[in-house]
């Protein structure tokens, strides 16, 4: 009997001990008051610094044991901090409220600059006012408190098909504009108009395009529908989808991390975030990949010679030891990085520099012309460059875009760790591995069907018509698994709408009676695409005629309707003269109706941003 009692006591004690030491997983979802998920929420145990972040769907998972405080703290800029006692719960869902705070003596603006401010109640989402062309009032960023640089965007106007039957442009897979816009809106401010590049906003999102089949490395999709912001117009949706390549089949990489460690990088959203972002990329590297690290501040230096990708601790040790300070010798850094890339060149491999910076090149050979010539020269030798932008206050968006464009790479803006994961993990192949270069579009419109057209976005990618067949003309690159989407707003033939046009030509006049007698009169337009293989010098041609039909917007695909929603939102926030009857409400409605499965939550996030801007508008009208 005593023996049985002793065994029973031992079992009880063991159960108590296991309960005391056993770890437990807590899961949940973080949303705002409208039910939209919030990505990037910091979730930590009270009194500790380690924790986790919510994903794009607002979901999180964290493990607790007997050593933890038993209290979770949820925090995110612009929202009131939430504390939740765990107790016996294994699922904790949290609703966060927008924060109203008191600012005393000093306030840190959205651009990292401190300024004196009298004590008053301040709503993080409440904007100051500037009048927009569309009659909507929003807060714009204030040039007095930042040195951010954006290239001017002059929107494309309508072209008459009889006089300008061809539209020619280079593809663009950059998507920095969207994440940069998101940064502004999350801080309660409207972005500068020139920061809004609509094609980059549209191309931030994935669309359900078919996988390529046959000799070409991408598929081509087309669709026509009634334009949602102008019922008298049509919307043409064009999509390319690059073939997906399994990570194990990707060629070996010779990478050079070129990292800005100048004094301007000494902010939490710059070098510290950069280190975490590169940690995600290092985890993706294979033994056959190699990485070297070059840094630049007052001078440039090599801090890690080319090292195999399976020596992750060595690579991360070099990254973790980086510190910011000094001025910025960007030109010298580029030269040293190219020297290192050429020294370790892999024939048939992916030879690429990954430049991480806030774009502030202000010492040394910093002229755009000199850097462009250097980058173009190295591009011809097979060394490409990808640019990652960080931080706020002195973002040199215009310079970073030039570097990526001239270097056969792409430009992304990293505003949080989730964005770093999207660019460097989820889209690893597309970010780093080119499947086609010098990709150009040329669309020929049929005047029997279309009166005028307007290319939406791509203002800095326009080409002369004769550039399409010129293989010496540089154009955009496409990565593995990448999507490229382009939209045209079309005015149908026979429309009574007045569109300014040039005078009739004296020497090249064409009789109207000739129009429509073609064997191709049923075609609306023809899409032509030229591209080169990554190591090729001669282009290949792909041709696709488009015959319609023109669907109502409600019968259009999710692809077209969501791209239209993004476009409508973009036109509103940049105060486009072509926005017609666009409203935030219709943009949000279109986005909701075409959200689809949205596994990563990016489309839901767009809806949240539209609703945030709508709230900012409401607040500004009350002031």
Same domain, 416 and 441: no
Same domain, 364 and 378: yes
- Helices 271-284, 312-320: axis angle to 10 degrees equals 170
Task: For residue 563, count CB atoms less than 10 angstroms from its CB and return exposed for 0-12, middle for 13-18, buried for 19 or more.
Answer: buried
Give the confidence band of 8 by pLDDT, cuts at 50, 70, 90.
low
Mention every residue, 6+ apart, whose C-beta is less than 8 A from residue 139. 127, 128, 129, 130, 188, 189, 190, 616, 620
Residue 31 belongs to a domain = yes
Task: For residue 3, count CB atoms less than 10 angstroms from its CB and return exposed for 0-12, middle for 13-18, buried for 19 or more.
Answer: exposed
Same domain, 272 and 420: yes
CA atoms of 116 and 106, how far apart (whole Å): 5
Residue 124 belongs to a domain = no
Q: Which two tokens stand for residue 497?
A: 């709408």
Number of neighbours of residue 289 by Cβ within 10 angstroms: 22
Q: Could you give phi then psi for residue 9, rounded to 5 degrees?
A: -65, -40
Residue 504 belongs to a domain = no
Mean pLDDT for 430-452 is 91
Same domain, 303 and 327: yes
Residue 113 belongs to a domain = no
Residue 137 belongs to a domain = no
Same domain, 538 and 585: yes
Task: For residue 564, count CB atoms less than 10 angstroms from its CB and return exposed for 0-12, middle for 13-18, buried for 19 or more.
Answer: buried
Same domain, 214 and 317: no
Same domain, 465 and 601: yes
Question: Helix (H, G, I), strand (E, B), or coil: what is residue 241?
Answer: strand
Mean pLDDT for 324-343 is 83
Same domain, 346 and 272: yes
Q: Provide the b/e sequence for 293-332 (b: ≥16 CB within 10 Å).
A: bbbbbeebeeebebbebebeeebeebbeebebebbbbbbb
Q: Residue 60 is part of a domain; what is its CATH number?
A: 2.60.40.10
CA atoms of 531 and 270, how far apart (whole Å): 36
Please tell me the total count of domains within the chain.
Answer: 3
pLDDT value, residue 77: 62
Give the confidence band of 519 by pLDDT, cuts at 50, 70, 90.
low
Same domain, 351 and 325: yes
Q: CA angle at residue 470 from 465 to 476, to 5 degrees?
A: 80
Last residue of a domain, one of 76, 96, 116: 96
Residue 75 belongs to a domain = yes
Residue 62 has pLDDT above 60, yes or no: yes
Q: Residue 224 is part of a domain; what is its CATH number?
A: 2.60.40.1230
Same domain, 197 and 341: no
Q: Which two tokens stand for residue 44?
A: 């930590």
Q: Which two tokens stand for residue 225?
A: 């529908």
CA atoms of 126 and 187, how far apart (whole Å): 10
- Rg (alpha carbons) of the chain, rounded to whole number: 27
Last residue of a domain, one of 69, 96, 123: 96
Residue 575 belongs to a domain = yes
For the stretch 577-588, pLDDT in tens is 999 999 999 999
Same domain, 414 and 446: no
Question: Helix (H, G, I), strand (E, B), or coil: what is residue 142?
Answer: coil
Question: Helix (H, G, I), strand (E, B), or coil: what is residue 414?
Answer: strand
For the stretch 562-576, pLDDT in tens is 999 999 999 999 999
pLDDT value, residue 434: 86
Cβ 528 vs Cβ 178: under 8 Å: no
Q: Residue 404 is part of a domain; what is its CATH number?
A: 3.40.50.410
Across the strands, what pairs with 240? 220, 484
Task: For residue 42, count CB atoms less than 10 angstroms from its CB and return exposed for 0-12, middle for 13-18, buried for 19 or more.
Answer: middle
Mean pLDDT for 509-534 is 76
- Pairing status of strand 94-96 against strand 483-492: unpaired
pLDDT value, residue 623: 64
pLDDT, greater one: 128 or 139: 139
CA-wise closest residue to 356 among 381, 382, 319 = 319
Q: Which two tokens stand for residue 186?
A: 């999350």
Same domain, 575 and 444: yes
CA-wise closest residue to 196 among 621, 620, 614, 609 = 609
Find the domain containing 277 and state its range. Answer: 252-429
Q: What percent of the chain lies above the pLDDT cut of 90?
A: 50
Residue 145 belongs to a domain = no
For the stretch 360-394, pLDDT in tens is 665 444 456 777 888 889 998 999 999 999 988 88
- For 443-466, give the DSSP string: EEE-TTTEEEEEEES-GGGB--GG
Specify the DSSP class assigned to residue 601.
S
Last residue of a domain, one of 381, 397, 429: 429
Residue 531 has pLDDT above 70, yes or no: yes
């Amino acid at each position: 009997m005593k023996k049985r009692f002793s065994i029973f006591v031992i079992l009880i004690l063991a159960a108590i001990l296991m309960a005391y030491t056993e770890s437990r997983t807590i899961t949940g979802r973080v949303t705002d008051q409208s039910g939209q998920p919030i990505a990037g929420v910091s979730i930590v145990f009270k009194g500790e610094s380690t924790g986790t972040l919510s994903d794009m769907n607002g979901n999180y998972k964290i493990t607790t044991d007997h050593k933890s405080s038993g209290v979770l703290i949820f925090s995110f800029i612009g929202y009131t901090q939430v504390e939740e006692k765990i107790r016996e719960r294994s699922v904790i869902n949290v609703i966060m409220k927008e924060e109203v705070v008191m600012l005393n003596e000093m306030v840190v603006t959205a651009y990292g600059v401190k300024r004196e401010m009298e004590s008053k109640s301040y709503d993080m989402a409440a904007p100051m006012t500037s009048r927009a062309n569309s009659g909507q009032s929003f807060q714009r960023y204030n040039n007095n408190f930042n040195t951010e640089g954006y290239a001017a965007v002059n929107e494309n106007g309508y072209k008459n098909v009889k006089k300008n039957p061809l539209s020619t442009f280079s593809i663009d897979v950059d998507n920095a504009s969207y994440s940069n816009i998101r940064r502004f809106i999350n801080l309660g401010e409207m972005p500068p108009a020139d920061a809004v590049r609509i094609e980059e906003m549209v191309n931030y999102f994935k669309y359900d395009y078919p996988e390529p089949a046959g000799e070409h490395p991408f598929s081509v999709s087309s669709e026509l529908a009634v334009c949602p912001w102008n019922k008298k117009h049509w919307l043409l949706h064009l999509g390319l989808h690059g073939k997906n390549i399994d990570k194990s089949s990707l060629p070996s990489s010779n990478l050079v991390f070129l990292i800005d460690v100048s004094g301007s990088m000494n902010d939490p959203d710059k070098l510290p975030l950069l280190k975490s972002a590169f940690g995600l990329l290092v985890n993706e590297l294979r033994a056959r990949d190699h990485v070297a690290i070059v840094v630049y501040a007052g001078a440039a230096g090599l801090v890690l010679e080319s090292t195999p990708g399976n020596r992750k601790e060595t690579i991360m040790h070099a990254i973790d030891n980086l510190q910011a300070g000094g001025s910025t010798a960007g030109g010298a850094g580029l030269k040293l990085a190219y020297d290192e890339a050429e020294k370790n060149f892999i024939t048939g491999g992916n030879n690429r520099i990954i430049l991480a910076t806030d774009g502030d090149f202000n010492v040394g050979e910093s002229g755009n012309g000199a850097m462009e010539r250097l980058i173009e020269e190295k591009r011809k030798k097979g060394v490409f460059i990808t640019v990652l932008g960080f931080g706020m206050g002195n973002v040199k968006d215009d310079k970073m875009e030039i570097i990526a464009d001239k270097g056969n790479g792409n430009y992304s803006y990293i505003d949080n760790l989730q964005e770093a994961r999207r660019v460097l993990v989820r889209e690893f192949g597309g970010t780093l591995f080119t499947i086609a270069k010098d990709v150009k579009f040329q669309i020929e419109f049929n005047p029997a069907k279309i009166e005028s057209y307007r290319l939406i976005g791509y203002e800095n990618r326009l080409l002369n018509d004769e550039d399409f067949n010129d293989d010496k003309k540089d154009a955009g690159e496409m990565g593995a698994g990448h999507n490229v989407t382009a939209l045209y707003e079309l005015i149908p033939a026979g429309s009574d709408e007045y569109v300014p046009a040039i005078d009739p030509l004296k020497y090249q006049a064409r009789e109207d009676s000739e129009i429509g007698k073609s064997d191709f009169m049923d075609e609306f337009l023809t899409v032509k695409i030229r591209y080169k293989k990554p190591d090729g010098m001669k282009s290949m041609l792909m041709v696709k005629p488009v015959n319609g039909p023109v669907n109502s917007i409600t019968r259009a695909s999710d692809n077209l309707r969501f791209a239209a929603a993004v476009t409508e939102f973009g036109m509103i926030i940049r105060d486009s003269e072509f926005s017609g009857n666009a409203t935030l409400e219709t943009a949000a409605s279109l986005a909701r109706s075409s959200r689809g499965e949205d596994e990563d939550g990016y489309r839901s996030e767009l809806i949240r941003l539209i609703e945030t801007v709508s709230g900012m508008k409401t607040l500004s009208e009350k002031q």
